[in-house]
């Protein structure tokens, strides 16, 4: 029981330090591991940070100076490439596979995979979902709560369900 009390005291101190330094509360994993360490362990580019609670699957390549927020899913099972200077907001889900045909075929059809690409200098708003096979060009802004099921061209501003390029 004393180990549990010691751990609780340690976590309380780490939470106080995080609050004093950054005025934030984070999950336990983020108290123990620096976000840059996680990115470095995955081979992401220099200056990239990644919260501890990010789900990373498969073949994911991330460029330099990216910020990957909390509760993000990066599905690289079909290949995922993310450029430099990309901000991926909280709760974003980026997929490179789906199981739609497998499910409706009763398991006869295989899982479908297609590479997904995010260009450089891109901002992806909170709670956005990007489907497999989509390419997002350079310099794109995708608004919060968007459903991206088609390519977004370079320099575009897009949002909505489904996401549409705004003029």
Beta strands at 73-82 and 116-118: parallel, antiparallel or unpaired: parallel
HEC secondary structure over 52-121: CCCEEEEEEEECCCCEECCCCEEEEEEEEEECCCCEECCCCEECCEECHHHHHCCCCCCCEECCEEECCC
The closest of 42, 94, 50, 44 to 70, measured between CA atoms, is 50
CB neighbourhood size of 62 (10 A) = 24
Q: Is residue 97 flagged as an active site residue? A: yes
| Active-site residue (options: 61, 65, 85, 97) | 97
Which residues are annotated as catalytic? 97
């Amino acid at each position: 029981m004393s180990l549990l009390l010691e751990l609780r005291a340690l976590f309380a101190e780490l939470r106080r330090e995080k609050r004093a330094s950054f005025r934030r509360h984070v999950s336990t994993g983020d108290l123990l591991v620096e976000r840059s360490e996680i990115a470095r362990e995955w081979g992401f580019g220099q200056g990239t940070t990644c919260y501890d609670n990010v789900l990373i699957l498969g073949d994911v390549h991330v460029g330099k100076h990216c910020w990957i927020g909390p509760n993000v899913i990066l599905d690289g099972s079909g290949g995922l490439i993310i450029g430099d200077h990309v901000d991926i907001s909280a709760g974003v889900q980026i997929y490179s596979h789906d199981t739609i045909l497998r499910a409706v075929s009763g398991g006869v059809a295989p899982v479908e995979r297609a590479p997904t690409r995010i260009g450089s200098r891109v901002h992806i708003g909170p709670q956005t979902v990007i489907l497999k096979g989509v390419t997002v060009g350079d310099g794109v802004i995708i608004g919060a709560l968007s459903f991206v099921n088609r390519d977004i061209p370079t320099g575009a501003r897009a949002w909505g369900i489904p996401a549409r390029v705004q003029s």
